[in-house]
């Protein structure tokens, strides 16, 4: 009774073997479910973006460091639903100049980025669904930026964080580092 039956064996059984067919069918469904399970969910897995020994550094036109930052990111279930949560360490290397901040974008693998031009997309079909900036600082000491919280597109199954450190410029566009992107996580 513990053997798995293939479709032909099940069809060749007589009508008196209904119980055996039901048990065989259940075993077949259980075997299929066990072998086709998707990847484990990575919700609440903390991902790092850069580090204290390798921070993102924003520089002025002459190449002089203006500020630096690094941090962590994760996707989490909160009382506000599924959220993208970023934390960081931020430092202004020239505290008498313009302030610095962290710019965070939440990207998801939603098809919206293909069908809606409002969402910007990258090569792997990752689209930006929310973005924002941390508080600004002029501190020449490392400060903690806690819980930048952004929505996650509900039609997606994975998200990632995209980070930049920027200098707030008064009369011109802000200068930012190149972006660093965390590993995408399913939720």
pLDDT (tens, 9 = 90+) of the chain, 187 residues, equals 444 333 343 334 444 444 444 334 433 333 333 333 334 447 899 999 999 999 999 999 899 999 999 999 999 989 988 899 999 999 999 998 899 999 999 988 875 554 444 445 555 577 788 899 999 999 999 999 988 999 888 788 888 999 999 999 888 899 999 999 998 888 7
Question: Using an 8 Å Cβ cutoff, are 73 and 85 in contact?
Answer: yes
- Name the pTM for this structure: 0.71
The token pair at 32 is: 């299929």
| Residue among 21, 89, 151 nearest 4 (CA) | 21
Give just the sign of the alpha carbon dihedral 182, 164, 131, 90: positive
- Reported as half-sphere exposure (CB side, CA atoms, 13 A), residue 71 has a value of 31
- What pLDDT is attached to residue 112? 53
**Residue 4 and residue 67: Cα distance in Å, rounded?**
64
Cα-based angle 47, 111, 162 (whole degrees, multiple of 5): 25
Q: Which of 90, 84, 85, 86 is nearest to 70 (CA)?
A: 90
């Amino acid at each position: 009774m513990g053997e798995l039956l293939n479709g032909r064996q099940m069809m060749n059984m007589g009508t008196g073997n209904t119980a055996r067919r039901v048990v065989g069918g259940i075993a077949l469904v259980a075997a299929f479910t066990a072998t086709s399970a998707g990847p484990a969910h990575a919700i609440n897995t903390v991902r790092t973006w850069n580090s204290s020994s390798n921070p993102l550094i924003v520089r002025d036109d002459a190449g002089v460091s203006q500020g630096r930052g690094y941090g962590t990111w994760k996707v989490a279930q909160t009382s506000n639903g599924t959220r993208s949560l970023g934390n960081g360490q931020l430092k202004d290397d020239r505290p008498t100049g313009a302030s610095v901040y962290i710019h965070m974008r939440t990207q998801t693998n939603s098809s919206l980025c293909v069908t809606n031009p409002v969402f910007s997309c990258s090569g792997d079909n990752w689209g930006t669904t929310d973005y924002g900036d941390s508080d600004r600082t002029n501190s020449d000491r490392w400060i903690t930026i806690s819980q930048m919280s952004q929505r996650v597109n509900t039609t997606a199954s994975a998200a990632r964080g995209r980070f930049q450190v920027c200098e707030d410029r008064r009369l011109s566009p802000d200068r930012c580092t190149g972006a660093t992107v965390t590993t995408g996580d399913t939720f």
